[in-house]
């Protein structure tokens, strides 16, 4: 997007500079088309698709958060009732875009939604799953939505309370 703005600004300056030397009898030179943010032949949703891909590549599930809001202890298995965080990098997404997580049980039943609006200047946003103590053991999934379009999904496992959710770390 920034390259397109620079290209348009440069094109405008070149046109202004070039028009000073034209006489009335000579036609003004035809400016070259401005650079497009979407490559020629790419689908109209190419930029949005690229942003969703970057977003999904940055999704991390885990047990705790670092001071910057990213997951510091990644994991894919969580004991019932223990914290479950999801962090994602949103630097490729415009501020003001809604990001939504939809949680699903092993049977496909909805377990709730969480949403937020990407604040200006944000690099990472995170979500904490609601109380998971009543969630059944098994493979669950979380869908990640950005700007009303599904970006993708991740799976994770809920283990019965008292079961080890992940290898314990040395103290």
Instruction: Please tell me whether residues 54 and 135 are part of one structural domain.
Output: yes
Residues 5 and 51 in one domain: no
pLDDT of the chain, 171 residues: tens digit per residue: 443 333 333 334 333 344 444 444 444 444 443 333 333 343 445 657 777 777 888 899 999 999 999 999 999 999 999 999 999 999 888 999 999 999 999 999 999 999 999 999 999 999 999 999 999 999 999 999 999 999 999 999 999 987 655 444 433
- Kindly state whether residue 169 falls inside one of the protein's structural domains: no
150 and 80 together in one domain = yes
Co-location of 125 and 56 in the same domain: yes
Q: Which residues span the domain enclosing 84?
A: 47-159
DSSP-derived secondary structure for 84-147: -EEEEE-TTS-TT-EEEEEEE-TTS-EEEEEEEEPPTT-SEEEEE----TTSPSEEEEEEEEET
Domain assignment of residue 170, yes or no:
no
The pLDDT value recorded for residue 134 is 94
One domain, residues 117 and 62: yes
One domain, residues 15 and 83: no
- Is 99 within 8 Å of 144 (Cβ atoms)? yes
**pTM (predicted TM-score):** 0.67
Q: Is residue 60 part of a domain?
A: yes
């Amino acid at each position: 997007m920034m390259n397109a703005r620079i290209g348009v600004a440069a094109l405008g300056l070149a046109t202004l500079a070039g028009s000073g030397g034209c006489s009335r009898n000579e036609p003004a030179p035809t400016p070259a088309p401005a650079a497009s943010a979407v490559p020629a032949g790419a689908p109209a949703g190419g930029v949005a698709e690229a942003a969703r891909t970057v977003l999904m590549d940055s999704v991390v599930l885990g047990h705790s958060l670092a001071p910057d809001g990213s997951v510091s202890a990644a994991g894919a298995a969580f004991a019932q009732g223990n914290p479950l965080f999801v962090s994602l990098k949103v630097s490729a997404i415009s501020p003001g875009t809604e990001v939504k997580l939809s949680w699903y049980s092993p049977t496909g039943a909805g377990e709730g939604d969480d949403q937020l609006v990407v604040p200006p200047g944000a690099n990472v946003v995170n979500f904490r799953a609601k109380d998971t103590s009543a969630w059944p053991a098994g493979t669950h999934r979380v869908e990640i939505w950005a700007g009303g379009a599904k970006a993708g999904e991740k799976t994770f496992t809920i283990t019965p309370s008292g079961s080890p959710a992940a290898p314990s770390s040395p103290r």
